[in-house]
Structure 1
Amino acid sequence: MSLADKVLAVNNDLPIRTELPVHSGKVRSVYWLTEADSRRLIKEKGYDVAEDAPLAIMVISDRISAFDCIWHGEGGMNGVPGKGAALNAISNHWFRLFKEQGLADSHILDIPHPFVWIVQKAKPVMIEAICRQYITGSMWRAYSKGERNFCGIELPEGLEKDQKLPELLITPSTKGILEGIPGVPAVDDVNITRQNIEDNFEAFNFRSREDIDRYELLLKQGFDVISDALAQLDQVFVDTKFEFGYVTDAAGNEKLIYMDEVGTPDSSRIWDGPAYRDGKVVENSKEGFRQLLLSHFPDPDILLNKDRMAERSALARDNALPEEVLMAVSKTYVDIAEKITGEKLVLSDNPKAEIIQILKDQYGLVD
């Protein structure tokens, strides 16, 4: 069996019973279950959700996206072996810790297979909640050009690249295109201030002004839990993105929960501690792949300049990356997952067949 066969690249073609189109994102595909199947599973499995809550099967893939493009490799490798399993394993680990430490629940109700989550529908807060402990990446690029105000927060003079910030910074941006919010351009992923959120909390889907404090507290607590755990592994938690939403439990209580994924190499920067103390940055996250792409192509501006999207899409479509590049990325993901979870990551020879079998036999979701 070739390496390409072990990669789950296409995840929107599973024969899961659904009446709605499959929603396929950069990495995950979402299958909304029929109302009958949702109700049946809530009853059979005892999930702590309202009896009429819509449920979905979320299947991760091994696809890799960077600079808003999906990349592929030689020999038909349309993804990175082990990446999907690594992302889910890491997220599962942090979500469990959050719950154990009394922070908040997540949207995940069940984990039938390393590639699969059963989730409940949440009403998302329309914010990419980004927090930063170190100055690097886009923030450093802007700072080095003289910018000092980030999302309404004033940074001091004299900071150096990759240094630890005086405090954890929350630098939110919009999730999706939000129309009609004064002072907030109607484009995806635009930086916003806390004042923007307070003045228009309902437009961002917050139930109340108090929930802004709640989201910031969950953000900081979640960051600290992951940062402390990584520090014990001599890894540096640099920055990350959280997402939040609202759900209702079986007793009818509405609650703010963590959504999407947390503390993964896709959503965070993680640096090797010993290397950082030596003055070097060794990435244990997708940032390493981004840097590799920037040095791989002769004109990196294509990857950084949003006005050159058509050229960028062509670059990703027409260039198969060397197998050793994707295998180096695989090693980064698998190694950090095993380090975080303390368990060996077992990679399946045929994940798709396994998923179908489990969802058929144990959940009755495949005809």
Structure 2
Amino acid sequence: MSAIKETHFNLPGQSHFYKGKVRDVYTIGNKFLVMVVTDRISAFDVVLPEPIPFKGQVLNQIAAKFLQATLDIVPNWVIDVPDPNVTIGKICEPFKVEMVIRGYLAGHAWREYQAGKRTVCGVTLPEGLKENDKLPEPIITPTTKASVGHDEDISREEIISRKIVAEEDYLLLEKYTRALFQRGTEMVAELGLILVDTKYEFGMADGRIHLIDEIHTPDSSRYFYKEGYEERQANNEQQRQLSKEFVRKWLIDNGFQGKEDQMIPEMTPEFVNSISERYIELYEHITGDKFIKNDHSDALKRVENNIIEALNRLA
């Protein structure tokens, strides 16, 4: 079974190509962005050597569902989803921050708290919290959007004072972030999940703020199972979660956190397949739909043909 590790298309009208950690992005003239969600996987801002079968399809289809379901909150960049691994959308000028919002103390925020910090991105956290506790209210902990290297925590005050985002726009980004998180929380609660934390990216097009990239996927979000959450917290047990955190934990346990001179541990076929199964499990839980594995026998040809057909329709 092949996975889509990278693409090298020459699309009609193509004017630019950008290879991200996970996405291959083609600019078509000054009209469209074609985003191919590959099966690459990254952690600690490093792309791991082995792609994960069906991961790109999972991410793209979850994002498409939630982008459609939040159109009443904020316009988004999507024009067409012509293939399970592809979204075609508007060209937007991205804001240089990622809007991270957290309802629970987990992941990076917990690691900072455990290290003794009580202020994260200018937000003060109360004493006496433990890992995975629900926060008194969701907090926004933005990061800079680095083109190269690690994103860095930043406060609202710094963003505005350094003019990274104009104050008027930034307040709108916060408003949209809270509304999107609330909508996502409500949608997955019906399916027995807790949306723990997530991130959103925004851009400008036609003088309006648009939601861009992906939302509520396992790459951008963390989920717990709602059933048994309270009992596990009371007993100081680890939460059952659906996210990429288990990949980060495996890397940490094997001596890798993205630092210089650290070697990425070997990803065995069994481990790669277990990641694929976890992504498919999340898809089915979050959408309530059965995951249909797309034909991967010649996935690159399928993707290319579907993109070209869509561009011809949109021309």
* Paired residues for 1:22-101 under 5 Å: 22-35=17-30, 54-72=31-49, 78-99=50-71
Aligned to 1:176: 146
Structure 2: how far apart are the matches of 1:362 and 1:132? 37
**1:196 deviation in Å?**
1.7
Alignment-mate amino acid for residue 66 of structure 1: A
Answer whether contact 1:89 1:341 (CA < 8 A) is retained: no
* Paired residues for 1:162-201 under 5 Å: 162-176=132-146, 189-200=151-162
Aligned to 1:115: 85
Percent sequence identity over matched residues? Answer: 30
Aligned to 2:164: 204
2:246 to 288, 311, 316: 288
Structure 1: how far apart are the matches of 2:210 and 2:158? 22
> What are the superposed Cα offsets for residues 61-120 of structure 1, whole Å, 9 maximum, x if unpaired?
001111222223xxxxx3111100000111111111101xx1011111111111111121
2:197 to 224, 239, 252: 239
1:143 to 103, 110, 113: 113
- My pick for the range that moved more, 24-33 or 189-198, is 189-198
Structure 2: how far apart are the matches of 1:275 and 1:62? 32
Distance of aligned partners of 1:342 and 1:145 in 2 relative to their CA distance in 1, 3 Å threshold: closer
Aligned to 1:360: 308
Instruction: Give the alignment's TM-score, normalised by structure 2.
Output: 0.90
Answer whether contact 1:235 1:271 (CA < 8 A) is retained: yes
2:271 to 291, 310, 325: 325
2:104 to 134, 137, 149: 134
Question: Structure 1: any 5+ residue segments left out of the alignment?
Answer: 36-53, 73-77, 179-186, 249-253
1:217 to 164, 167, 175: 175
**1:362 deviation in Å?**
4.4
**1:357 deviation in Å?**
2.1
Aligned to 2:75: 105
Instruction: Give the alignment's TM-score, normalised by structure 1.
Output: 0.78
Question: Structure 2: any 5+ residue segments left out of the alignment?
Answer: 233-237
Aligned to 1:348: 295
| Displaced runs of 4 or more, over 6 A | none
Equivalenced residue count is 306
**1:18 deviation in Å?**
4.4
Answer whether contact 1:133 1:165 (CA < 8 A) is retained: yes
Specify the SS of the correspondent of 1:88: helix
Alignment-mate amino acid for residue 358 of structure 1: N
Aligned to 1:261: 214
2:230 to 248, 272, 277: 277
Answer whether contact 2:66 2:215 (CA < 8 A) is retained: yes
Answer whether contact 1:17 1:34 (CA < 8 A) is retained: no
